[in-house]
Amino acid sequence: MNARVAHRALAAAAALAAVAVAHGVDAPPAADADAPGARVWNFRVLLDGQPIGRHRYTVTPQGERREVRSDASFEVRMLGFVAYRYRHQARERWQHDCLAGLDAHTDDDGRVTRIDATRDEAGLRITGGGDAPRLLPGCVLSYAYWNPAMLVQSRLLNAQTGELETLRIERVGPGSVDVAGAPTPAVRWRVSGAHAPIELWYSAQGDWLGLDSTVAGGRRLSYRLDTKENG
């Protein structure tokens, strides 16, 4: 793989891999993986089966609210040099199943973007991403794969770009996905629309287990859950 191919592949992967999880403005105290009721997802991130980094999510309930933290770090190396680097740090604040605030920071191989949002009576007000401030009325959800309510949506907010994207989400059927290196029964869902289709894997109880997508050059981007580090 040459550096140009690696860059193109991961540049396409980055928009998918960020998974649009962001941090909330005016949020309660930061989410703590040791807090009562907190859930932690630790994913190994793979490109064509080769590890390129990790993505960690922490979801902490706070009464009727939830706070979500996300931290992604990917690198593609070639001949000992970094051909592509991606960083995404985020916090998200939810009121029930509606996004109440976010603040996301992304460094896509040197291209830095930030999206901020706050909710008031009119809706979710978004700034950043190079566009004028905008208002999204009603209940807005992001690409919150950890939340099964996402699976019945037709539009989702991409917190890396600030865009509300139209999509289709459908259940594909039963299958199997590796969890901590072991094949595990799972239900597969497909998200199609703004990007290449994303395949999502959930347990029968609705717990998120993994992600797959084909990116530029026909390469395979995967998230695989490591339960040995999962809180």
Rounded Cα distance, 196 and 167, in Å: 11
- Which stretches within the chain are classed as H helix? 3-17
Instruction: Considering only residues 117 and 5, tell me which one the structure prediction assigns the higher pLDDT.
Output: 117
Considering the segment(s) 3-229 as one domain, its CATH architecture is Clam (2.50)
| Confidence band for 102, pLDDT divided at 50, 70 and 90 | very high
pLDDT score, position 82: 87
Mean pLDDT (whole number) for 173-179 = 95
Site of tokens 């009325």: 137
Separation between Cα atoms, residue 15 and residue 36, nearest integer Å: 32
Q: Is the pLDDT of residue 45 over 90?
A: yes
- pTM for this prediction: 0.80
Copy the structure tokens of residue 48: 């064509």
Confidence of residue 161 (pLDDT cuts 50, 70, 90): confident
